[in-house]
Amino acid sequence: MSRYRNLVVSSVLAVASLTAYAQTKVPTTGVLVVVPAYGEVKHVNDQVRITFNIEEQDKDKAAAASRVNLKMKQGTDILKRQDPQAILQTRGYYTYPVYPEETQPRANPNKPRLPTGWRVGQYLDATTTNLTNLPKTVASVQSVLALNGINFSLSDATSKKLDDLRIAATYRNLAERIGSIARAMGRNEGDAVLDTIDFEGSGNYAPEGAMPKTMMMRSAASDSAQVEEPSFEPGETTLSMRVVGKVRFK
């Protein structure tokens, strides 16, 4: 019985406290409130950037370079056949000397070291929205080149379409926060007048946003044998926006 009495007393005290708080009003006429808000939209990634590479090693620098050039051409031709719409870019051609391992200090450290071979390599990037054919394309190219990396993202066209939705979501969150602040201050939402809206979210009061997420994979070098088709999951990208509004109450 005493426990029930304690609950009743606690409830009465809580109601009394809320009533006293509601009766104690701080003047808010003309006050300027800075309201940060945040909005985001998500969409399945519809674009991928694939990176292939080839590296050869030989005592003869010209022989190593010749094999790299040949395999890069073969891999490029395969990519063009498998995905004619892909945008291709070769880059990062390198040639490095290979020196013998030294287990003991050299008798004459001032004598120049002579290379025993050469490492030659090159990279090939392919950007495409043809994700349906991606496993077959990659497996075909892997018979000649190595898969070095793959990065899923949103295409420019999709990003532009999502921009309207992102702005709307951000503004909706701002309006919801203004309503919550007005109610907490004991004011009507109609008393709040937007003075400034900063869609850049600049200023020290704006939280730092995260960059769009992407998926990255790494793969070891492949040989010339037929390669089974790999499995890929493009995932999704989150586009976010910050907004800061300055609200003045009548």
How do 32-44 and 117-128 pair as beta strands? unpaired
Of the two residues 27 and 216, the one the predictor is more confident about is 27
Distances in whole angstroms, Cα of residue 109 to Cα of each of 98, 99, 102, 114: 18, 14, 12, 12
- Domain covering 48-100+112-151, topology: Alpha-Beta Plaits (3.30.70)
The model's confidence at residue 77, banded by pLDDT at 50, 70 and 90, is very high
Task: Please give the radius of gyration of the chain, using alpha carbons only, rounded to the nearest integer.
Answer: 32
Least confident of 79-83, 134-138, 160-164, 190-194: 190-194
Q: Which CATH architecture has domain 29-46+154-221+234-250?
A: 2-Layer Sandwich (3.30)
- Summarize pLDDT for 129-171 with one digit per residue, the tens: 999 999 999 999 999 999 999 999 999 999 888 888 888 888 8
Of the two residues 195 and 179, the one the predictor is more confident about is 179
pLDDT the model gives residue 4:
45
The domain segmentation of the chain, as residue ranges, is 29-46+154-221+234-250, 48-100+112-151
Query: What is the sign, positive or negative, of the torsion defined by CA atoms of 13, 14, 15, 20?
Result: positive
Q: Count Cα atoms within 13 angstroms, Cβ side, for 244.
A: 13
- Summarize pLDDT for 25-73 with one digit per residue, the tens: 667 777 778 888 888 889 999 999 999 999 999 999 999 999 999 999 9
Distance CA 135, CA 232 (A): 7
The model's confidence at residue 229, banded by pLDDT at 50, 70 and 90, is low
pLDDT the model gives residue 25:
62
